[in-house]
C-alpha cells in the first residue's frame, strides 16, 4: 500500500521536503465544466452579463488561482510556474462552459494542484458572474486529465 506523503510517521500533517529531489520538467492538464440553463448560456455567449465579460474574467481568475495555489492549499509548495493557460469553451450541448487548464515548470514537485486550482477558480468565477441570472448552475467533473514528469511517472485520465 502506498504511503500518504503529507503525513509523518505519527500521522500528523506536514509539508513534504522536496529539497533532495531532482528538477524535472513537470506538466499537468485539468478540466471541468459549469453547466447552466440555456438562457444563462445565451447571456454569456452574447456578452450580456451585468458584471461584464464572463469568459475573459474567468480566464484571468483561473490564471491567478494557479499562481496562488500554495496560499489556498496549506501543504502545497509555492512554485515558480513557467506557464499556465486557461481555456474556456462554450458548449451548447451542456449547455455551459468547458474549462481546460495546463500548468508547467521545471522543478522538484508537480503542478497538478495548480492546474486543478485554475479550473476550480475559473468555474467559481463563472458562477459568481452569472449567479444574478441563475443560481442553479452546476460546477462538475473537475479532474486531472494528464500529468507528466517526476518520480511517480506519467498519468493520463480521460
List, by residue number, the catalytic residues: 128
Structural contact between residues 8 and 14, judged by C-beta atoms closer than 8 angstroms: yes
* Helix%, strand%, coil% for the chain, nearest 5: 30, 30, 40
CA gap 63, 42 in Å, rounded: 25
CA gap 150, 108 in Å, rounded: 8
CA gap 113, 136 in Å, rounded: 27
**Structural element, H or E, at residue 31:** strand 24-35
Structural contact between residues 107 and 21, judged by C-beta atoms closer than 8 angstroms: no
Residue with cell 513537470: 26
Amino acid at each position: 500500500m502506498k504511503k500518504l506523503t503529507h503525513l509523518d510517521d505519527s500521522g500528523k500533517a506536514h509539508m513534504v521536503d522536496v529539497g533532495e529531489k531532482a528538477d524535472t520538467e513537470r506538466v499537468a492538464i485539468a478540466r471541468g465544466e459549469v453547466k447552466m440553463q440555456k438562457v444563462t448560456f445565451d447571456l454569456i455567449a452574447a456578452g450580456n452579463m451585468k458584471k461584464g465579460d464572463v469568459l475573459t474574467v474567468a480566464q484571468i481568475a483561473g490564471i491567478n488561482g494557479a499562481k496562488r495555489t500554495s496560499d489556498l492549499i496549506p501543504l502545497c509548495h509555492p512554485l515558480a510556474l513557467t506557464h499556465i493557460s486557461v481555456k474556456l469553451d462554450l458548449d451548447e450541448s451542456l449547455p455551459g462552459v468547458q474549462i481546460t487548464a495546463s500548468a508547467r515548470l521545471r522543478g522538484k514537485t508537480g503542478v497538478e494542484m495548480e492546474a486543478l486550482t485554475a479550473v476550480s477558480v475559473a468555474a467559481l468565477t463563472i458562477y459568481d458572474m452569472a449567479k444574478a441570472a441563475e443560481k442553479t448552475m452546476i460546477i462538475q467533473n473537475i479532474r486531472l486529465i494528464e500529468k507528466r514528469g517526476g518520480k511517480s511517472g506519467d498519468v493520463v485520465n480521460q
